[in-house]
A = this chain, B = another copy of it.
């Protein structure tokens, strides 16, 4: 990977981290309603995916995907702040505040929205992929699924149908080691999700999701393979999330230390960039720039108006109006 590309990914990762940290602060201050799941620690996975997914592709984000949502929004439409506004439930959000953190979508940038019944989109993604295939479009339909989400029966139905129909689906399994409090090796027959995916006969790969260089390369190869009409691919990206459960940190100290200090995707990329001669000042500048950008988005979100109350009953049906009170 050339240095400009790596620098770009570094920037993207900082955008995500700044986004999530800003959001976390606002959530704690009571400015963000509902629930909060952040993608902190998983920036490399998201930056790598975002780098290869075009606006014409389709991705189904999971519940930690504010980052990829924001990157796609910013890159393809230039208005990443609308993802932030959505999380604040504002009129300027991508779904006018009707979706929120778990249902932010914008098909114009390829974002097909999370389904907070986690994993249901393992089935939905098939339809997007099938449509692309029937129309002869060189499109990739990507489902971003956590290791826990893999427990759902739709995992089997989806991989099986993607296989028999040879669909352009990228399964990006974000294995961060836990489903809420359940360690991946206790919740699944194998701690390596690929073991369960291999039976469907298409290519499966496990990789270090915190090494943005590797992740970028392998995602790129998978996307190219799928886009060329060669059928589905399954990637298991090993990573780790900062967020524990709301009771706090429950994971072993050594594990926490390893992932936060020794194997943090941003620190790893910074090391690599410095080894290539990029200065510490430049790196700090990127961080500062992203933090500033995100503070602007937060200000935008806060300053935005609440949705028009008429939105509450709009769009239940295409063909009918729903009565208001």
Q: Using a CB–CB distance below 8 Å, which chain A residues touch chain B?
A: 151-157, 159-160, 163-164, 186-190, 195-202
Report Cα–Cα, A157/B155, bound state, in Å.
Answer: 9
Number of copies of this kind of chain in the complex = 2
Cross-interface CB contact of A152 among B153, B163, B200, B201, cutoff 8 Å: B153
In the bound complex, residues from chain B placing their C-beta under 8 Å from that of A197 are 199
Cross-interface CB contact of A189 among B190, B195, B199, cutoff 8 Å: B199
In the bound complex, residues from chain B placing their C-beta under 8 Å from that of A164 are 186-189
Of A155, A187, A188, A202, chain B has the most CB atoms within 10 Å of the CB of A188
Supplied contacts A151-B157, A197-B199, 9 more A-B pairs, CB within 8 Å = A153-B155, A153-B157, A155-B156, A164-B188, A189-B199, A189-B200, A189-B201, A189-B202, A190-B200
Say yes or no: B159 contacts A152, CB within 8 Å: no
Of A156, A160, A196, A201, chain B has the most CB atoms within 10 Å of the CB of A156
Q: Give A193's nearest chain B residue, CB to CB.
A: B199
Say yes or no: B199 contacts A190, CB within 8 Å: yes
Q: Give A162's nearest chain B residue, CB to CB.
A: B189
Question: A266: shortest Cβ distance to chain B, in Å?
Answer: 34
Report Cα–Cα, A153/B199, bound state, in Å.
Answer: 15
Question: A267: shortest Cβ distance to chain B, in Å?
Answer: 34
Question: A120: shortest Cβ distance to chain B, in Å?
Answer: 11
